[in-house]
Amino acid sequence: MDIVSLFCGCGGLDLGLKKAGHKIIWANDFDEDSITTYKKNIAEKNEIVVCKSITEIPSTDIPDCDLVIGGFPCQGFSVANPYRHEKDKRNFLYEELLRIVKEKKPKYFLGENVQGITNLGGYETAEYKKNKIGKVFKMILNDFKKIGYNVEWKILNAADYGVPQLRKRMVMVGIRNDINLKFEFPKITHLPKEKNNQLNLNLKNNLKSYKTVGETIGDLPIEYSDKIPNHQGTRHKVKINGYLGNRHTDPEKPSPTIVGRGGGTGGPVILPHPSQKRRMTVREVARIQTFPDDFIFFGSNSSQYRQIGNAVPVDLGYILGMQLKKLEKQHNKIKDK
């Protein structure tokens, strides 16, 4: 499918979708470092990449496409932000995704955000609470329904799909009403080791155990190295005290969520290395986000950490891309009848 990518960042989702066989024809973000990283690693000659606020871009400047994707900025929604509020101005950048979808009328759209978006503003009724749909999320779903899209959504944990990270995100897929199909979310492929061992004994399932931090970054040297791209880090010392970003990283388990920022306007929260001798390097958190080692990040160290923390894991993007291919295949079969 031909894809328009809004809020593309450094391109984790885009790279995963391209690996699944899709084509990015137009991408946009307002962050210069992210766009530099994107252009150097992902963009092809015929792909348009625009560094500008989407609020300043009319839909007439954006090409027609099959799919619009948008991991709209989530700092205002994030549970990692103790100051989050439903009226946070960053929350309403989803309206730009809504605007582009409404005016371009693609067959499908895909939106991604933190799970906190689903309960923001509280619940109006017991039924909405049961279905975990808060006031703000209800508004978002209704807005897309009004412009002619049926929306399926689910909270996905990246660790359930082979990403070495406990990262829960809301993923929603909208399908234009005239297509009359339903998106099937991918089935999980991994489980926690202890749970998987028990299930294997009882059910002989084919699920794998969660990937761990140790097996993901264990081959990288403790010392910073210029010979390994982006294997540099921060001077911020390790202080294990139980708070966010200051908890021991267990090498035998998946990583906690890699985040782009801390609370409010603070810099990125960088997890301690399992050795506790330093924080993780840019390359190590990139591996945890399943970026390949030949994917090079640009900008300051702080900017690189932020780009990675804000990205969708590449491997999860690939899995979603394969499901979207199945959806498009269904649609083509219907058209050919």
- Where in the sequence numbering do the catalytic residues fall? 74
Pair of tokens at residue 243: 């708070």
Task: Judge whether 9 and 307 are in contact, CB under 8 Å.
Answer: yes
Strands 108-114, 168-176: pairing kind: antiparallel
Task: Judge whether 210 and 190 are in contact, CB under 8 Å.
Answer: yes
Name residue 26's beta-bridge partners. 4, 48
Pair of tokens at residue 235: 């001077």
Pair of tokens at residue 65: 């496409």
Give the 3-state DSSP-derived string for 98-111, with helices as H, strands as E and coil as C: HHHHHHHCCCEEEE
In eight-state DSSP terms, residue 245 is T
Residue 283 burial by Cβ neighbours in a 10 Å radius (0-12, 13-18, 19+):
buried
Pair of tokens at residue 42: 């992902």
- How many angstroms separate the CA atoms of 334 and 337, rounded? 5
Query: What DSSP line would sit under 118-159, residue for residue?
Result: GTTT--SSHHHHHTT--HHHHHHHHHHHHTTEEEEEEEEEGG
Q: What are phi and psi of 255, to 5 degrees?
A: -70, 150
- How many angstroms separate the CA atoms of 289 and 300, rounded? 19
